[in-house]
Amino acid sequence: MKMNRLRIAMIGFGNAGKAFARILLGKRQEILETMDYDVQIVAIATATRGNLSHEQGIDLEKILRELQSTGKFDRNGESYSSRTTAEIIEKTAYDVLMEITPLEIFSGQPAIDHIRQAFGRKKHVITANKGPIAWAFRELKNEAEKQGVYFFYETTVMDGTPVFNLMDETLPMCRVSEVTGILNSTTNFILEEISRGKTWDEAIAEGKRKGFVEADPSLDIEGWDAAAKTAALLNVFMEADIKPTEIKRQGIVHITREDIIDAKKRNRVIKLVCHGWRQKGHMIGEVAPREIKKDHIFAGMRGTSSILSLTTDLMGSITIMADNPKIEQTGYGLFSDTLRLIRKLK
């Protein structure tokens, strides 16, 4: 009997991509035995490490070792490719494009164009990039349906925590009317560290040392990342067609240690909260620091933890929490979307 193949072209191969590759290495045989699919990475495009392409599948163990030792792909390796990212998307033989390039917060590009190109070739798409969902979800969703392909994006808001799959797969005909969450790990960590006595600079430096605060954390502390996640949630759950620039946004840059101490005296904590709802036919989204009572579930979010509450018509309020997720959970989000795709194709 002919074996089924699922050929993946990865655009981007940062920490999330490497985490996905490690999971696939450990689970590939199990997928083959239980789902009758051989999942292979046939192309990888990166901005700085070089590009790879091999129609029979790239040796993942080998390239992960190369990146560990040299930080780039071996130009003399059998899989090394001179093709550009655009050429890989347009010319490589693959079944699903995995778009995991870094977020470009103010346009969602070039990730949106990468996805458009893949749909134009009738290829499925899995993405961890929230930009396309925040900026062009309706267009991309409609194009995927038109081309008869699948479009999955579980990892865009809460790493590998099932948010979109939860609604799609387990809550049929349930409608979301409001979303509320703490969805930016950087600001959550900084506010908590300041409450423990650190200065702003000390809190940011500690986050950088631990590896989850960017070299330039301005997109986080100014609320842009949270605004993109809010837009993504409203676009998917409430068909909002709203952009990050339309989210009322206030970051945490003006929050002082005195503000945090004062809130603490009143048994409250300050958190950067995302909120979206429909009011008189208009979609409203906002991101702002809020004082939260210490006995509220949101107040318990420590470190890089995140939480999301969905208000629904049939199931009331549903709350989902991720406890200090690591990059492995982001990789798992990509992996779970891959398994979901296989189930749809069977």
Query: Does the structure show a pLDDT above 80 at 280?
Result: yes
User: What residues are designated binding site for L-homoserine?
Assistant: 214
- Tens of pLDDT, residue by residue over 38-81, are 999 999 999 999 999 999 999 999 999 999 999 999 998 899 99
If pLDDT is split at 50, 70 and 90, which confidence band does 1 have? low
**More confident position, 152 or 76:** 152
User: What residues are designated binding site?
Assistant: 12-17, 130, 214
Q: Tell me the average pLDDT of the chain.
A: 95
Q: Which CATH number fits domain 176-322: 3.40.50.720, 3.20.20.80, 3.30.360.10, 3.40.220.10?
A: 3.30.360.10
DSSP run (H or E) holding 125: strand 124-127
- Tens of pLDDT, residue by residue over 76-104, are 889 999 999 999 999 999 999 999 999 99
146 is catalytic: no
- Tens of pLDDT, residue by residue over 306-319, are 999 999 999 999 99
Q: Mean per-residue pLDDT for 211-228?
A: 90
Domain boundaries, given as residue ranges, for the chain: 4-160+327-345, 176-322
Confidence (pLDDT) at 212: 80
If pLDDT is split at 50, 70 and 90, which confidence band does 216 have? confident
Question: Is-cis flag, bond preceding 110, omega within 30?
Answer: yes
Question: Which tokens sit at 287?
Answer: 């991101």
If pLDDT is split at 50, 70 and 90, which confidence band does 287 have? very high
Q: Residue 41 phi/psi, 5° resolution? A: -90, 115
Confidence (pLDDT) at 2: 67
Confidence (pLDDT) at 215: 77
Alpha carbon distance 102, 109 (integer Å): 10
For 169: left if phi > 0, alpha if psi spans -120 to 50, otherwise beta; the answer is alpha
Q: Which is nearest to 274 in space by CA: 238, 249, 241, 245?
A: 249
Q: What percent of the chain has pLDDT over 90?
A: 92
Q: Which CATH number fits domain 4-160+327-345: 3.40.50.720, 3.40.50.150, 3.40.50.300, 3.40.30.10?
A: 3.40.50.720
Q: Which amino acid, residue 188?
A: N
Contacts of 330 (CB under 8 A, 6+ apart): 15, 16, 19, 128, 155, 159, 160
Confidence (pLDDT) at 162: 96
Q: Which of 123, 229, 243, 271 is labelled catalytic?
A: 229
Alpha carbon distance 20, 65 (integer Å): 15
- Tens of pLDDT, residue by residue over 315-338, are 999 999 999 999 999 999 999 999
Query: Does the structure show a pLDDT above 90 at 164?
Result: yes
Q: Mean per-residue pLDDT for 232-244?
A: 97
Q: 181, 309 in Cβ contact below 8 A?
A: yes
Residue with token string 């605060």 = 213
